[in-house]
Amino acid sequence: SGPLHPAARECGAMMRDGEKAKHFIKATTDILATMAGRAITPGRPYVKKDQQAVGDISAIIGVTGPKNGTISVSFSFECASALVTGMLGDDVEDMAQDMQDAVGEVTNMISGQARAAIAENGLVLQGSTPYVVVGKGHEVHHITKAVVMAIPFTTDGGEFTVEFCLA
């Protein structure tokens, strides 16, 4: 993982988000390697300025505790399809439904592992059941007004982005 996006360096509070980003990068890398046999490459974390989803299918998890917010993972259709194939092999029966299930499950696992690592630093957060939104051009509305940090990832099967917002 490289240095933070220049916009993230402008504010000292962002450095805390940069530390959290490291936990999300590790969780995402671990989960995708284990669940789908995919090697992934994280990009540079940046401050997201709009609500436009980066991908075509997103899972969003609400987070509560001393801080509240959201965690989301948005996949391109291509990447979600590759994820399903990596997880299920030839057992795919309904690609559309399997993509929704896989994106929700992977997001839940990334959220859980990242929240566990963050809890080791004293911040215990609970996560909701993920909900999935499908369609080109959809928006992800993070439930706080805090800065949204986004981490792009590339795989041999396509691209996806992890976002988190905690206030």
For 13-43, the three-class secondary structure string (H helix, E strand, C coil) is HHHHHHHHHHHHHHHHHHHHHHHHCCCEEEC
Q: Render each residue's pLDDT in the chain as its tens digit; 167 residues.
A: 444 444 433 333 333 766 889 999 999 999 988 888 878 999 999 999 899 998 999 999 999 999 899 999 999 999 999 988 888 887 778 888 999 999 999 999 999 999 999 998 888 999 999 999 999 999 998 877 788 999 999 998 899 999 999 88
Report the alpha-carbon distance of residue 61 to residue 3 in Å, rounded: 26
8-state DSSP, 51? -
Contact 63, 165 (CB under 8 A): no
What's the CA gap between 43 and 121, in Å, rounded?
24
Place of tokens 């974390």: 45
How far the first Cα of the chain sits from its last, in Å, is: 24
Which strand (E) or helix (H) includes residue 113? helix 95-119
Closest CA relative to residue 161, chosen from 4, 8, 19, 45 = 45
Cβ neighbors of 135 (< 8 A, separation 6 or more) are 56, 57
CB 100 within 8 A of CB 27: no
Strands (E), 28-141: 40-42, 46-48, 57-64, 69-75, 126-127, 131-134
The verdict on pTM exceeding 0.95 is: no
Identify the H or E element spanning 83.
helix 77-88
